[in-house]
Structures are given as structure tokens and as C-alpha cells.
Amino acid sequence: MNDYYADLGVSRDASAEEIKRAYRKMARKMHPDVNPDAEAADEFKRVSQAYDVLSDPQKRQSYDMGSDPYGAAGSAGFGAGFSFSDIMDAFFGGAGAGGGDPRRSRVQRGQDALLPLEIDLGTAVFGNNEDLTYDTAVLCNTCKGDGARPGTGKRTCDVCHGSGQVQQVQRSFLGQVMTTRPCAACRGFGETITDPCFECSGEGRVRDRRSITIKVPAGVDTGTRIQLAGEGEVGPGGGPAGDLYVEVHVRKHPTFQRQHDDLHCSVELPMTAAALGTSLPLETFDGEREVDIKAGTQPGDVITLRGLGVTHLRTGQRGDLMVHANVRTPTRLDPQQEELLHQLAKERGEEHPEARFQPLNQGLFGKLRDAFKQK
């Protein structure tokens, strides 16, 4: 007669959990997929046979009374009641490995959602509260997520008898192997809804339109995502809601362009204003500001207004407003204006100027490029 207790290394009064732990420990070492040695394969059959007997209360009782279900032949009937799911538990930590309930829960977390949000550049500078309306899954108010019509309930599945699983015996090279699968009748829940809620059809949630107000922080830019915890879809069975992610898109502004935390714009100046200097009003996001044009301003010169740019998303400090000078040369002169310019050129000795060529990065294009590289 085989000594199954010795094969598993447990005492004769070992509990069902101790027997399962001992089997899992030995099966991990000796399974053919892990240990290809022939002796290990024989040992795996032997301990699996021992577990098959000792894990079944009726077989264990018969064995303790002197009846060996496999007899002297040992492996002749190996696998007749052996559950393949126990091997899966041993290697992958299934429901049996942790002693958990194999039934699926109807209550599940909802999915996350991603929505776009368009904002003005001014909102990106200072931040603001924005209203957002979207369609999503919400808790069913009729059944409160239960899925059953009020006043009714659920009943134990007639196919799996509440276990959420069904077993099937299959033949393999090891003999007859019992596999375990989720019950198709109850989808693994272990129970069925006899009278589903007419509002949500048993889902515990319905589609509806929601409106919320979200805080858009100062400094966001196109592509920034704002996470709102618990504002996504409610899960099946009235489960907790997922998260809502709002992806920001900043609309183009007619005057200002953003580069990092700085704002850029250009001002067109007459040649005389650039030469003599002037002061011009500019409407900024902080109200009207005076832009001082120094005498002798050249095309591409940049006038910097400190602290009038975009608020940094993390530090809260603001960038600058960069005003690029675009000097306009007159093209249509009347005789008197033309004579005045000739007199000015004569006074400055510029009637027949010598051309001075410079590398491209020292001219207008270089100034524009260097201005955009600042900070």
C-alpha cells in the first residue's frame, strides 16, 4: 500500500490547507515543464497521485481505513480525479493557491475616460474654471447598481451551484485530467439575476450626460492632461468610477505666440519712428502697457516687457512679453519728401554709401533667431 502522507511529507493529521501547500511546493520543483529529468517526472506523478487521494475527503477516509484507490499498481489509475487547476494554482497563484473565492465579482472598477478641452491663451496664462459636458456611464438610480429589479434578488446558478466554475475531464498523456473553467451560464458569478432591472438591463449602470466644472491651472499648454479622480465611467455592478483625463488644446491668438513661458508679438514701425524713438500702447493680458521704442531701433530689435508672459505651471513665476520691431521703409514718396531724404542722406554722408556685407546670423534673421532662443 502506498504511503501518501510520506510522499507529500505531511503528518497523518495534516489539514487540507497543509496538504495543498505541500503539494504546491513539490509540484513547482518536479513538474515536467520545469524539470525535464525522467526521475522528476515519475516523482511528479507520485506526489500528484498522493494529492489526488488526500485532497478528496472521501478518498482520504477510505485510504485511512486501509483502502488504496490506486492499489499496488500505483500509477495505473493516475489522474482519475486529479484536478489540473491545482497545477495552475501551484505555478501561477490561481484562486486555489491563495484560498480565495473563484467566483467573479459583479462589481468592477469603471474605465478611465479621455476628453479634449479647448481654451483661450488667456486661460493658459492665468488659469480658470471651465465647464465640461460629456456622456458617460453613471450609477443606475432604479436598482442602485444591484442589477436586479427592486423587490427581487439573485439566485444560485443551477449549473455550477454557486461556485462560478465548471469542471471537465479530458484525456492527456498523463491520463485523465480535470480542467476548471468559468461557468458559461452565470459567466463565473455563481449566481444569476432572475428579474433584471428594466432601466439598466442588469448592468447596474446607465449612459447619461454629465456637466462638471474643472479647474484649469495657470501654465497649461497644448497636450497637457488634467486628471480628475473618480470622474470617469461607473463600473459594472455599480463599481467605483474610473478617472477622467482632460487633454488641453490652446487656441491660436491673433496677436501673441507662445514659446515656453514667454509671449512674442511684433510691432510695425515707420522708419522715422524707429529713428527718432516713440512710445506705443499695447493691449496685453494684464491690460494696456506702454512700449518704449528707443531712438535708433533697428529691424528685428526686441523690446522686453518683464513678467507679462505665461505663468509657469509648477513654480508660479511668469515669463516675459517680447515685442519684435519691424521697421517699415516708405515706398511712395512725393517730390518734397524725396528731397528731404536726399538732404538727410547728404548731411549724413550717405548719398553714395559703401555696402557692408555681414554673415547671415548678424543681420535681421539672426536677431530674430537669437530673440527666440532667449531663456
Instruction: Determine whether the annotation assigns residue 183 to a binding site.
Output: yes
Please, what is the angle between helix 16-30 and helix 38-54, to 10°? 160
Q: N- to C-terminal Cα distance for the chain?
A: 86
In sequence order, which residues have a C-beta less than 8 Å from that of residue 289 and are 6 or more positions away? 281, 282, 305, 308
Instruction: Determine whether the annotation assigns residue 143 to a binding site.
Output: yes
Judged by DSSP in three states, 261 sits in: coil
DSSP 164-183: SEEEEEEEETTEEEEEEEE-
Which residues, listed in sequence order, are joined to residue 212 by a DSSP beta bridge? 132
Pairing of strands 128-139, 321-328: unpaired
Looking up cell 485510504 gives 63
Separation CA 220–CA 117 (nearest Å): 12
In sequence order, which residues have a C-beta less than 8 Å from that of residue 232 and are 6 or more positions away? 110, 111, 112, 113, 136, 241, 242, 243, 244
Instruction: Determine whether the annotation assigns residue 265 to a binding site.
Output: no
Cell numbers standing for residue 108: 468592477
Pairing of strands 257-259, 128-139: unpaired
User: Measuring CA to CA, which residue among 278, 218, 286, 225 is closest to residue 256?
Assistant: 286
Instruction: Please give the C-alpha separations between residue 214 and each of 116, 117, 228, 246, 370, in angstroms, as whole numbers.
Output: 13, 10, 8, 9, 38
CB atoms near residue 369 (< 10 Å): 12
Separation CA 162–CA 147 (nearest Å): 18
Separation CA 230–CA 202 (nearest Å): 22
Q: Where are the alpha helices (DSSP H) in the chain?
A: 4-8, 16-30, 38-54, 57-64, 84-92, 95-98, 121-126, 271-276, 335-347, 364-373
Residue ranges of the annotated binding site for Zn(2+) are: 140, 143, 157, 160, 183, 186, 197, 200
Residue ranges of the annotated binding site are: 140, 143, 157, 160, 183, 186, 197, 200
